[in-house]
Chain A
Amino acid sequence: MHELGIVFYIIRDVKKAALENAVEHISGVVMNIGEVSTIVPEYLTHCWRWAADKEDLLRGSELKINIIPAVTHCDGCGQEYGTVEHGKICPHCGSENTWLLRGNEVEIKEIEVPNS
């Protein structure tokens, strides 16, 4: 359910980009999805198939997903570490004073248009 909603937002933005670039058919959409963005890539591509095939612009198009690894920055010692492996507490110094540097993205990277 969550992923289907996200797919509708992707389609809305892609349609807008197609209009701006005078594109009539899109064969692929490339997404940057952060590792801790709460999106399950398999569900997203599954929902994409269902929703994209209902649009002339996107029929048969493929949703490609780049996973962006999550990295946390520690204000305690200034180092960075893998969020998924270590969570909120810095493995270097034990500080809880940490914040997510990247890995939360839900971003349309690019669209692919068949060359005619």
Chain B
Amino acid sequence: MDPVKVIEIKKSIFEDNEVDADNLRKELKTKGVFLLNLMSSPGSGKTTTLIQTINLLKEKLHIAVMEADIDSNVDAVKIKEATGIPSIQLHTGGMCHLDAEMTRQGLDNVDLEGLDLVILENVGNLVCPAEFDTGSCKNAMILSVPEGHDKPLKYPLMFSICDVVVINKMDVLPYFDFDLEKCKEYVHMRNPKAKVIPICAKTGEGVENFAGWLLQEVKNWKN
């Protein structure tokens, strides 16, 4: 007799999460709530972009924000102070991303009644958040000018799953070797359907284009 018995499993570790994510999306569709998953590397300006976007949309939509970080609640406090909309902080307990189950736990703490849009600010990271479907309706990511135009080549998965790529910090373009046209070309190599929107979150320039895209997507989702 062999010392060990082998049981074949042959299962991707992402499989269960994908099922959870699809179920969550279906529930959100029934409730008419649109969930946006916003990703980027740390320091790209996610929170500032969100504040500007929310201030453009808060008269038109009922919005809530879930901030995911490994620790601290600075982002949730900042959003609440700057926009007045409800914002909760999720702690991932050391994990570098959110999955569908964690997203659901977060949503359980948000009053979804009458809400149109929930924005999930994922952990700042270009690797793991791309691997785990959160159950969001659309994915957006922010790439900031100082990070360089070659990021789509280095983190292909992230760019291939995003519906929108926001290029932030356009105001500092003269000081960096960032080539916007090259960047668009690299994004489209990974994902021909991705929309690229250049903005400057600090001054608000271009943010109306991102807000306009989001408003349209929320309307489409509710139909």
Which residues of A are in contact with B by a Cβ distance under 8 Å? 1-2, 4-6, 8-10, 12-14, 17, 21, 23, 27-28, 38, 88, 96, 105-115
**Smallest beta-carbon distance B162→chain A, Å:** 17
> In the complex the two chains form, is A115's CB within 8 Å of B5's CB?
yes
A-B contact count (CB 8 A): 75
Chain B binding surface, main DSSP class: mixed
> Residues of B contacting A107 with CB < 8 Å?
10-13
For the residues of A in contact with B, the DSSP-based class is mixed
Question: Can you list 26 residue pairs at the A/B interface with Cβ under 8 Å?
Answer: A2-B96, A2-B127, A2-B128, A6-B13, A9-B17, A10-B13, A13-B11, A17-B7, A27-B4, A28-B4, A38-B131, A38-B157, A107-B10, A107-B11, A108-B10, A108-B13, A110-B8, A110-B10, A111-B7, A111-B9, A112-B5, A112-B7, A114-B3, A114-B5, A115-B4, A115-B5
Contact with A along B1-27 (1 / 0, CB 8 A): 111111111111110110000000000
Q: Which residue of A lies closest to B157 (CB)?
A: A38
A113/B7 in contact, CB under 8 A: yes
Tell me whether B9 and A13 are in contact (CB under 8 A): yes
Q: A4-B94, A5-B95, A38-B127 are in contact. Are A110 and B9 (CB under 8 A)?
A: yes
